[in-house]
Structure 1
Amino acid sequence: MQQNHYGRLGAVLSADLINLPQMSAAAIQTLLKEHEIRRAAIDDVDVEGFRRWRDQLARVFRPEGPAEQCSAVNDLLAEATIRPWVTTHDGLQPHLHFVPDSADLLSRVKAVTAGGLAFVLCWEGGARLGRCVRPACSRAYVDTSRNGRRRYCTARCGNTEAVTRHRSRHSRPKP
């Protein structure tokens, strides 16, 4: 998968936010730090905003078709009020952000996730944004593989499903 940094970061952050097992201030803050979101201090008041945003992000990862995915991403873009912003906050070469550095944390996360999903949808196609097909799972994932044929959230889920299929075939009584 060929993407720019912002597209991949935003899309993967979206999937990880959807998959977050516990929506608490500490869990969200840890996730944002793992994704190198600066100034990731969050309190309990912010949690509800993140919970609502996570629910909106989840619409993009449902395989209902391109029109529904586009509509879901457009809704995210409208709420995130993305406006391109060039910054040199790291002292290096100027680069693009989706909101000013001064924006609050939730606004920054909304912008990077909505913008990232838009990049992936437009450049790689909606099939790159999926849900694990293993019946006991349904975690969201971003397919970054070369061939774009990923069906499971992790290799472990794929292997577990393969073992289950194998065992079911070999446990049937022989005629």
Structure 2
Amino acid sequence: MHLNPYGEDAVNLAAELANRRPADAEELADRCRAAGLVLERPVAHADLVRALEALDAWEKVVDAVDEHERAELVNAMLAAAAAYPRLTDHAGSGWHLHYREADRRLGDLLFSLISVGTALHLAGRGMHRLRRCAVTGCTAVFADTSRTGRQRYCS
């Protein structure tokens, strides 16, 4: 998956995985492939565990009480997951940036992708653009990618 300038693909993947968490490593791999990630090695249970850790951290970002707490939480995710940016054409799909070390397992890749994508999304679109659905009883998470930045519902 190439990160677009606003991190939209990464935050949408995070929301999709957070709202319906994968039950096992195979499901995680299938859903990541469907989202456009290139998986270069077998996916193990440890990848699922790490991905769920990333989603737990990400949901704390979504539920932050203000933009300062949100920034602090994203920065902690970045510190735990990201490396210096590097150009790569690893899958022959064109040059793009990775914000992680080469040859990482899927769980670490997702932690990095979600961290950096969330930072890009919030910095580029607005610190308020992650939230839970406003419908009573709905706890779904979504990334607001609307033109106006005023989305309140998950669908």
TM-score, normalising length: structure 2: 0.87
Please state if 1:132 is matched with 2:107.
no
Corresponding residue number in structure 1 for 2:55: 54
The alpha-carbon deviation at position 133 of structure 1 amounts to: 1.0
In 2, the alpha carbon distance for the partners of 1:100 and 1:45 equals: 18
Alignment of 1:28-107 (within 5 A): 28-39=28-39, 41-91=42-92, 93-107=94-108
Which residue type is aligned with residue 32 of structure 1? C
In 2, the alpha carbon distance for the partners of 1:43 and 1:28 equals: 10
> Which stretch has the larger CA shift, 136-145 or 93-102?
93-102
| Unaligned residue ranges in structure 1 (runs of 5+) | 155-175
In 1, the alpha carbon distance for the partners of 2:75 and 2:26 equals: 30
Please state if 1:122 is matched with 2:123.
yes
Which residue type is aligned with residue 45 of structure 2? D
Query: How high is the sequence identity, in percent, across the aligned residues?
Result: 28
Deviations 1:10-63 (A, max 9, x none): 211221221124432232122211211111732223322222221111111115
Q: Is the 8 A contact 1:23 1:51 kept in 2?
A: no
* Residues 63 and 153 (structure 1), Cα distance of their counterparts in 2 relative to 1, 3 Å cut: farther
3-state SS of paired residue (1:127)? coil
Q: Is the 8 A contact 1:77 1:114 kept in 2?
A: yes
Q: Is the 8 A contact 1:6 1:112 kept in 2?
A: no
Q: Is the 8 A contact 1:130 1:141 kept in 2?
A: yes
Q: Is the 8 A contact 2:78 2:115 kept in 1?
A: yes
Q: More helix per residue: 1 or 2?
A: 1
- Who wins on radius of gyration, i.e. which is larger? 1
Q: Is the 8 A contact 1:25 1:44 kept in 2?
A: yes
Which residue type is aligned with residue 68 of structure 1? E
Deviations 1:92-144 (A, max 9, x none): 54221112442221221111110000001111112111111112211111111
Aligned residues: 152
RMSD: 2.0
Alignment of 1:131-170 (within 5 A): 131-154=132-155
* Residues 65 and 48 (structure 1), Cα distance of their counterparts in 2 relative to 1, 3 Å cut: same
In 2, the alpha carbon distance for the partners of 1:125 and 1:5 equals: 13
3-state SS of paired residue (2:84)? coil
Q: Is the 8 A contact 1:82 1:115 kept in 2?
A: no
> Which stretch has the larger CA shift, 18-27 or 141-150?
18-27
Moved over 3 A (4+): 90-93
